[in-house]
Amino acid sequence: MLPLALSGLAISFAGLAEPVLTIDRLTLPAGGRLAVTGASGSGKSTFVNLVSGLERPDSGVIRWQDTDITTLSESRRDRWRAANVGLVMQDFHLFAGLAAVDNVLLPARLAHAATAEVKARALALLSRVGLPRPGQSVETMSRGEMQRVAVARALLRRPGVIIADEPTASLDAEAGAEVGRLLIELAEQEGATLIVISHDERLTERLDRRIRLAAGRIVADTAPEASS
């Protein structure tokens, strides 16, 4: 369970005059549930990339508990992310040709972190997200089932934070509701901080706090003062 503290964050892309994202200050307590909304191009994806350590800001601090990930090298950010962040993305990014359980285990295996305990946990998580056949090949699954595999994968290494980028956008309403419910339940159960980027109101309204981005700035926050 990791608390987040952002300050003085700014990032620009070459060729664009305006910064893509500017956040003066944002904090989220450990175990907090944050929804980030906004139109496309508002900086939502950049937000995900920054807080997950995929990208480094031009300036500012991104502190997860005691670690300012902006000071880490790319390889160390990779390691930090592998150990602390569970990512769920709109496009699932499952690997065809591998069984569900192998997909869940793949990042851990590639990082040489797939112990017997981790393998047992992979099976337990698949069963928890309602997939009784861990050996099923992912390309034979429905989109809802695929995203549930991705949720299990995100939770495998007991991350301190779960970051979901439009987790329900490519699912039908029913499957989306199921995935949303699982994310919230599991984050609570596992004691993980949860950040969901989504424009799916049925999902975002179930989270404690919602911020809205427009043109790279926070333009609305359901709890502007409570956080600081």
Identify the residue among 68, 71, 95, 188 touching another protein (CB under 8 A): 95
Segment contacting another protein (CB under 8 A): 62-70, 100-108, 122-130, 212-220?
100-108
Question: Which of these, 111, 55, 54, 52, lies nearest to 84 by C-alpha position?
Answer: 52
Question: Which of these, 135, 79, 126, lies nearest to 107 by C-alpha position?
Answer: 79
Query: In the structure encoding, which two tokens stand for residue 17, read together?
Result: 């005059």
CA–CA distance, 172 with 166 (Å, rounded to integer): 13
Instruction: Please tell me whether residue 134 binds another protein under the rule CB under 8 A.
Output: no
CA–CA distance, 226 with 138 (Å, rounded to integer): 42
Instruction: Please tell me whether residue 73 binds another protein under the rule CB under 8 A.
Output: no
Instruction: Please tell me whether residue 110 binds another protein under the rule CB under 8 A.
Output: yes
Instruction: Please tell me whether residue 122 binds another protein under the rule CB under 8 A.
Output: no
- With tokens 């009784």, the residue in question is 132
Q: How far is the CB of 126 from another protein (least distance, A)?
A: 16
Q: How far is the CB of 76 from another protein (least distance, A)?
A: 11
Instruction: Mention every residue, 6+ apart, whose C-beta is less than 8 A from residue 85.
Output: 52, 53, 159, 160, 161, 162, 163
Instruction: Please tell me whether residue 78 binds another protein under the rule CB under 8 A.
Output: yes
Q: Which is nearer to another protein, 44 or 210 (CB)?
A: 44
Contact residues for another protein (CB under 8 A)? Answer: 45, 49, 52, 54-55, 74-75, 78-79, 81-83, 85, 87, 89, 93, 95-98, 102, 106-111, 153, 157
